[in-house]
Amino acid sequence: MLFLSALALFLSLLFGPTPATLVALTLWGVRLVAYSSAAQGLALSREMKLLESFWQSTPLLLPLAALLLIVTVFYAPRQEKLSREWSA
């Protein structure tokens, strides 16, 4: 969840809120399909297992999420008006 949240935040800064929301909703939809397939006893495909792994906090995804958050913070546009108010 942390990785997907960081990804959505980064995409919202890069492309805007609408594409980021669409990506997040698509990933939630894929998770719902995978969960309902597993609940019915159907075998998941290799691609579904890969996408399902993005919902877990694996040792690989935690540093990737942190890196994505750091890049997002440095990419975020600075508000010059706010910085002037704080320094005055």
> Which two structure tokens, joined as six digits, stand for 52?
């399902």
Q: Distance between CA atoms of 40 and 8, rounded to whole angstroms?
A: 30
Q: How far is CA 61 from CA 20, 58, 65, in A?
A: 19, 5, 6
Q: What's the whole-number mean pLDDT along residues 61-76?
A: 89
Of all residues in the chain, what percent carry a pLDDT higher than 70?
A: 70
pLDDT by residue (tens digit) across 5-14? 888 889 998 8
Helix (H) or strand (E) holding 63: helix 61-75
* Verdict on whether the full-model pTM lies above 0.75: no
